Amino acid sequence: MTTITGNLLKRKITLSGNTKKDAAKVSQFMLDILKRHRNIWRKELDQWQSARLTRYALENPSNWLLQEVYDDIMLDGLLTGITENRTYRSTNKDYIIVDENGIKQDKETAFITKKSWFEDFIRYAHETAYYGTGVIFLNNVQNGEIKSVQLVPRGNVIPETKTIVTGTDGTSGFSYSDFPNYLIEVQMYNALGLLEKAAPYTILKRHSWASWDEFEELFGIPIRIAKIASQSDDVKKEVASWLEEMGSSTYGVFPLGTEVEIKENSKSDAFQVFFQKLQALNDELSILVLHQTMTTQNGSSKSQGEVHENTLKELVYSDEKKILAILNDKLLPAMRFFGYAIPENYKIAVSQTKDPEKQMLIDDMLLRNGYILKQSYLEDTYGSEIEHTPTPGTPQKQGKP
């Protein structure tokens, strides 16, 4: 059972005058406190299906049940690894602000470079690929500068009605679309995310792990049978206790006349039933999230690995375009609203990192053909500080050996 409490607002919220940029007032109107007591019991397939039914309901759709399923299945190690693998390929890029000609503008880029709130915004935006539509609250704006952002609990967001609900029935809440500069809706692909499809694979994995664990208890350790001549119940109990106390020990002390027999499992390959099922489920999860398997598991050949790597690059490129669309269409207008001096024709872009070895060959060819490279370009590309660039035709001083 999930319990949600908060300040229920049913009246129209308006901001005017000096309060229109007051994030604290918006925060007070939005909700006092949103507390969720998560249900940490393991989710099963029937709960996943029930959560989907409430999420797809035509009247009063609810999102909190499905989000609890998502939180539960993200305890899976492989699912955590492949989703973070994909997310890092977007969050680890260098984002810059460029003018209409695509030239980096250092002053404006400083607004987002090495800012924790901007890093959090990108991560929250990208995670909507898995969790579905999210709403990011610019909850701390001071003197026209964003200090931090906060993700509105996903279970309280109903994207179909543009509503943040404060009750589990989905009928109480307010429209976040009334505050586009404070509450920014982000969605990479669809409203429910990839975890809707990943849930059954992850739940079935748990079943296989549990069955494998039972198999190990039954057949992993050889069975020890003690045969005794005495029919006394006391003697039987005593010998049984000695067998128990042996544990994993290779020896034991028994009364004279006791015969100990060890029965080993003859079906040593039976574990393959569970192992192969787990492997198949892991492959399905990798294909779902990364569209291939070989970047997370051992590949069979270099050529196949290159094909899989190229497939992942296409996926990452698609993610990059989606992230940039969100940043330029929604975040930049909000930044301008709060007072950031960013011209309307400027936009956020990804810095194109050059491979030094490949770039060196290109630059060498340009120099051989008489082209002059700028000092700033050389420093940015190769990370070397250059005191000055030589004039063409001027002999260079040789350093001392």
Per DSSP, the residues of 166-231 read SSTTS-SEEEGGG-TTTEEEE-SS-SS-THHHHHHHHHHHHHHHHHHHHHIIIIIS-EEEEE-S--
Q: H or E stretch including 164?
A: strand 163-165
CA separation for the pair 317, 90 (Å, rounded): 9
Distances from the Cα of 51 to the Cα of 70, 79, 190, 240, angstroms: 10, 20, 17, 49
Cβ distance 134 to 128 under 8 Å?
Answer: yes
What is the predicted pLDDT for the residue at 399? 47
Give pTM, 2 decimals.
0.72
What is the predicted pLDDT for the residue at 138? 92
Phi, psi of 5 (to 5 degrees): -130, 155
CA-based nearest residue to 327, from 98, 39, 157: 98
What is the predicted pLDDT for the residue at 66? 92
Residue 353 exposed, middle or buried by CB count within 10 Å (0-12, 13-18, 19+) = exposed
Specify the DSSP class assigned to residue 112: T
Q: Who contacts 224 (Cβ-Cβ below 8 Å, separation ≥6)?
A: 243, 246, 260, 261, 262, 263
Q: Which residues of the chain have pLDDT under 50?
A: 1-13, 32-35, 396, 398-401
Task: Find the largest Cα–Cα distance for the chain.
Answer: 109
The strand pairing partners of 137, in sequence order, are: 150, 183
Radius of gyration of the chain (CA): 31
Tokens 């099922």 belong to: 277
What is the predicted pLDDT for the residue at 238? 74
Q: What is the dihedral of CA 230, 233, 239, 245, to 10 degrees?
A: 180
